[in-house]
């Protein structure tokens, strides 16, 4: 089994991959958010662009995304909460933490994202939090951030480079 990067514990082929390959559509903001994370983790940048509705979309391109995210290892996604807009069923929000490694250091991005449904498809609209990347300082003997209950040095440390 090829575990899905999004942390669902499902096989990639029956979780985010059919969405990234456009064989299926996300039914909820959370599904879209998870599939976008998995697309980052597997470097499917076209999907990132195709599921984005932000105002600076016309300036974005696949090559620039690939360059921006070069050298980042996506390590773990935790979805903290997801809500629908009570007044508008075409709006929803997902709050998540995404752990990543960059130049051998560990970071976590915490964000609340807004999503919008247009013509039956969900899109990422914007970061509606003041999201920030926080450096996580773990020593090698600390318990790993990923939830495995193993020591960092025996778990995810080798995934950083
Ligand atoms: Zn998934
Ligand atoms: Zn770990």
Separation between Cα atoms, residue 19 and residue 9, nearest integer Å? 16
Task: Using the mean position of ligand 1's atoms as its centre, give its distance from the Cα of residue 119 in Å.
Answer: 23
Q: Is 152 within the bounds of a domain?
A: yes
What average pLDDT does the segment 111-116 reach?
96
Please indicate, yes or no, if residue 129 is contained in any of the structural domains. Answer: yes
Exposed, middle or buried, 2 (CB in 10 Å: 0-12/13-18/19+)? Answer: exposed
Confidence tier at 132 by pLDDT (50, 70, 90): confident
| Structural domain boundaries enclosing 106 | 12-159
Instruction: Compute how many other C-beta atoms are within 10 angstroms of the C-beta atom of residue 60.
Output: 14
CATH of the domain at 132: 3.10.450.50
- The pLDDT of residue 25 is 96
For CA atoms 107, 113, 118, 120, the dihedral sign is: positive
pTM: 0.93
Segment 53-88, tens digit of pLDDT: 977 777 788 999 999 999 999 999 999 999 999 999
| Ligand nearest, relative to CA of residue 8 | 1
Evaluate whether residue 148 is within a structural domain: yes
- Cα–ligand 1 centroid distance for 14 (angstroms): 8
Distance (angstroms) between ligand 2 centre and the Cα of 84 equals 32
pLDDT number for residue 37:
98
**pLDDT confidence of residue 1:** 84
- Phi/psi of residue 107, nearest 5 degrees: -135, 160
Residue 84 is assigned to a structural domain of this protein: yes
Domain membership flag for residue 26: yes
Residue 3 lies inside a defined structural domain of this protein: no
Task: Assign 131 a pLDDT band (cuts: 50, 70, 90).
Answer: confident
pLDDT reported for residue 74: 96
pLDDT in tens, 83-110: 999 999 999 999 999 999 999 999 999 9
pLDDT at 60: 80
Query: What separation in Å is there between the alpha carbon of 79 and the centre of ligand 2?
Result: 17
Helix and strand element counts for the chain (H, E)? 4, 5
Q: How many domains does the chain have?
A: 1
65 burial (CB, 10 Å; 0-12 / 13-18 / 19+) is: middle
Handedness of CA 25, 30, 32, 36 (dihedral sign): negative
Is there a domain that residue 2 lies in? no
Distance 26 CA to ligand 2 centre (A): 28
Q: What whole-number percentage of the chain has pLDDT above 90?
A: 88
User: Is 91 inside a domain boundary?
Assistant: yes
Dmax of the chain from CA atoms? 50
Ligand 1: centre distance to CA 130 (Å): 25
Summarize pLDDT for 5-29 with one digit per residue, the tens. 999 999 999 999 999 999 999 999 9
């Amino acid at each position: 089994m090829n575990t899905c990067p999004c942390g669902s514990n499902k096989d990639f082929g029956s979780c985010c991959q059919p969405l990234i390959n456009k064989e299926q559509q996300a039914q909820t903001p959370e599904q879209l958010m998870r599939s976008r994370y998995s697309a980052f983790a597997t470097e499917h940048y076209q999907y990132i662009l195709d599921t984005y509705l932000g105002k600076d979309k016309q300036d974005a391109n696949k090559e620039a995304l690939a360059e921006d995210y070069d050298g980042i290892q996506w390590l773990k996604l935790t979805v903290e909460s997801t809500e629908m807009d009570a007044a508008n069923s075409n709006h929803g929000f997902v709050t998540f933490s995404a752990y990543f490694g960059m130049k051998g250091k560990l970071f976590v991005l915490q964000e609340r994202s807004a999503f919008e449904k247009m013509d039956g498809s969900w899109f990422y609209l914007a970061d509606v939090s003041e999201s920030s990347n926080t450096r996580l300082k773990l020593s090698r003997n600390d318990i790993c951030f990923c939830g495995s209950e193993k020591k960092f040095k025996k778990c995810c440390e080798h995934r950083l480079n």
